[in-house]
Chains A and B, each alone.
Chain A
Amino acid sequence: MTLRVTMFAIVFAVAIIFFLWSCWQRFSLVTLGRADNRFDRIGLRFVNMLLYAFGQKRVVSGKYPFGWNHFIFFWCFLILLISNTEFLLHGLFPEVIALSYLPQGLYYALALIFDIVSIVALVAVIVAISRRLWFAPKYIDAKTVDAFVILGLVGILMLAFFSLHGSDIALGNEQAAAYMPVSSFVGMLFSGIMPATLETMKLVFWWIHAFALLGFLCYLPYSKHMHILTSIPNCFFKSIDKVNTQTPEVFQKENVYGAGRVDRMRWKDLFDSYSCTECGRCTDNCPAASTGKDLKPRLVIHDIKVNLLHNGGLIRKGKEPQLPLIGGGREGSVKEDTIWACTTCGACMEVCPVFIEHVPKLVYMRRDLVEMQAKFPDELLSLFENLENRSNPWGIIPAERGRWVAEVQAPAFEKGKTEYLFYTGCAGSLDTRNKRNTAAIARILNAAGVSWGTFGKDEKCCGDSARRLGNEYVFDRMARENIKVFNDAGVKKIIVECPHCYNTLKNDYKQFGGDFEVIHHAELISQLIESGRLKLEGKVDAGRLVFHDSCYLGRYNGVFDQPRKLIEMATGKAPLEMKKNRELSFCCGAGGGRMWMEETEGTRINMARVNQAMESDPDTICVCCPYCVTMMEDGLTDIKAPEKVKVIELSELVEKALK
């Protein structure tokens, strides 16, 4: 055993022990989080992991061409993992393990692969550094020490690799030289150097390589590059269903509600925070961030991580955490304004390459503010009281709820006779503008001869806003009450007008035992046309018509095609598309209870969206959500759009096209 091997064995042991200790320090903190089952449907989870982690499916999405640079990094890293493992083992057991001990063919093949992959990796490093230095997009924190340390280490590793093999080749010791073009080129550069010097250089480069590699390993857990360890399992643990709901709470004495402390997040939320690569795509797509609000989804995840690392040790010892999770003021603490700025539109989660779930975390923090501290923006006080006392957001007398029925022939729901309950929702039954859509839907249902009925004035609010705003206690009661009413009335199938009711009845109520077939009017009308019960004449002249996807119908529940087809059937041509459409649609600003809140910071989200719509010079903006109707109409007024531009709800358009 040579001195070098002994020294390396010591360095290696120290580095590995330090690395494992760091990992244990960090990963054990994840177990502080609340329970959350992410071990079901293992097969599907493996598929997700292969697709999204190894396949990098979301990393290379079309909108972000630089994702390909990461794809290259990722695969170079995996391939060089073999090379570097060999390097470390050879360093420890030079007599036993070496590439050159392999059968010649395999040895040469690997030598070629490693040489080529290393130069590709080096180019990727240069591309990444250049991007950060000279053409970084706004949504990333480009010039961080962290990023350059890692890129630097990877670069050094590659340069050391070539210099080490170059020295060897110059010395004439490398049998596979012919298969190592880049190393051979470096060897050629070194050709004039004295053999003794080359030996020294080889040793120096070997140690540089060793220190860069072990340094990289030790640095990982302390940087955003921890994602190298966590993002693959994070894709495995990703939510199998769309993240369109939040977990319920158990209301009994002694319980604590919401996430006022980092350990009250679910364990997966904590693991998420370790998986963030700081790519910034969430922030790039966030309607709040892009209109100057304080919310930057990436920083929320970062703050959760910092908070966990700061407080985790104390919490584990049963002590009170020092750094508040909510309150702001410093890194690791999330400001209240930030928490309230979220529209829960889910754009952040849609683009996250490693499936971090931002929205539930913000809702859990809202729960702490509302349920434990009763601390929220002033305007929400009347909302909460109205929801609780009058079961609608405006506090309108419940008896008014049945009024829309006067405008159209609308039967009452009869137990055992009526097939569909038409659940109109608060906006559809109480808001003057949106009552028009409700009446349109009713007339369409009548035209198709659907067996339907309403609860009229006895209908209650679904509770969507209460849940998204963190008032789970009130939502819990509303959900249970509605489910009981539905069950008692023998309701099996429900038509909804509002995508928020849709998501709540369909996805949230399941958690409370509500099992109903919930269908949005866009879906039902499509079905009615397909089955021949309804015929449209494609002669409605809506001029240039642009379509706006509602987040809760589209992104949350995957209903993209039906509204578009209906528009085409009604007008005879496909709708114009905004740049941000379908999965990447931009929120109108009303989701997550923001409908009921003032928007004082930055510019208005609805104005931003209307401006996006105006890019296609439309005559009509077609939407299929009452909140979107309100926000888009208000937005048009605010931007002083030409009067000819109208907002139309899909049902109104379909009604005009009825034969």
Chain B
Amino acid sequence: MQIVTCIKQVPDTTQVKIDPVKGTLIREGVPSIINPFDAHALEEGLRLKDRYGFKVTAISMGPPSAEVTLRNAVAVGVDNVILLSDRAFGGADTLATSMVLATAIRKLNEEEEVALVLCGKQTIDGDTAQVGPGIATRLGFQQLTSVDRIEELDLKNKRITVRCKFEERYEILNSCFPAMIAVLREINRPRYPTVPMRLMAQDYKVTVWDNKIMQMNENEIGLKGSATAVRRIFSPDRAKGQILGGDEVQDPEDAARMLINKLVSKNLISLQ
């Protein structure tokens, strides 16, 4: 049985600026990282591998440069990585993306039964939190979202129990395989790659699946397969922030007092 983790290479969004004229993201010169949520999904997959002996496959849809992110997955111990890359996949929204990922998972299932699909709850560039559930829907898998802990895994009966964290409650859910689990960052602390593994990953040959291999209908993928389109990206205008006191305030109590007075004066908090 295998676990498939879906990971995405994203720009380090804290360093991304918006082009005020074109209304698009300026990605040039911005370093790429693994979507932080996905790093936790990957780690959870590896932990299940360590404990139950699953094979872990990481897949990613993206341009050829996303290979780096998959290599990093190899460095932490993933068994198999596949890059889903084709010009025709480009410009996809969450629907078209989940179509491609679901097709790849179906293909992997033919090789070895897929028990679980692990995704990060959302990506830091798109922030939709739709792709994980989209994959589950396309594949007809159970979907377990906002998971912050895996409580139990019953390999014999192919069932898994997870804890989902919502605003003011936890839900403990028990589900059969196959299931898609979208994880929160609290679920674990990702491991750090060892040097021998990093060196091994440097020369690792990443398998690439393009649409010749995937054989998908072009109306289901890329721009054509997308149900939504971005019209404009912009930062809302916002009044400039204010630093209270700054370096002159030495006493933390003073600073706290100033802050509280300010918040009260703006009617944001009340001392009653």
Contact = CB atoms under 8 A, between A and B. Distances in A.
Contacts of A381: 189-190, 192
Interface in B182-225: 189-196, 198-200
Contacts of B198: 473
Contacts of A61: none
B17 to A, nearest CB: 9
A381 B193 CA distance: 11
A126 interface: no
Contacts, number: 41
Q: What's the interface size class on A, roughly? A: 20 to 34
A373 B250 contact: no
A511 interface: no
A134 B195 CA distance: 52
Contact of A257 (B12, B189, B191, B195): B195
Contacts of B192: 370, 374, 376, 381, 384
B189 A372 contact: no
A378 B33 CA distance: 20
A253 B189 contact: no
Contacts of B200: 253
A389 B33 contact: yes
B191 A374 contact: yes
A18 interface: no
A256 B196 CA distance: 8
A381 B36 CA distance: 14
Nearest to A395: B14
Interface string A155-177: 00000000000000000000000
Nearest to A433: B247
A252 B191 CA distance: 22
B20 interface: no
A247 B196 CA distance: 19
A592 B195 CA distance: 21
A372 B247 contact: no
A195 interface: no
B250 A643 contact: yes
A22 to B, nearest CB: 38
Nearest to B14: A397
Interface string A445-464: 00000000000000000000
A246 to B, nearest CB: 16
A432 B189 CA distance: 30
A374 B190 CA distance: 11
Interface string B218-254: 0000000000000000000000000000010010000
A256 B31 CA distance: 30
30 contacts: A251-B199, A253-B196, A253-B199, A253-B200, A255-B196, A256-B196, A257-B196, A370-B192, A371-B195, A372-B194, A372-B195, A374-B191, A374-B192, A374-B194, A376-B192, A378-B189, A381-B189, A381-B190, A384-B192, A389-B12, A389-B31, A390-B12, A390-B31, A397-B15, A398-B15, A399-B15, A433-B247, A473-B195, A473-B198, A643-B250
A376 B191 CA distance: 10
Interface string A373-399: 110101001001000011000000111
Contacts of B31: 389-390
Nearest to A371: B195
Nearest to B203: A253
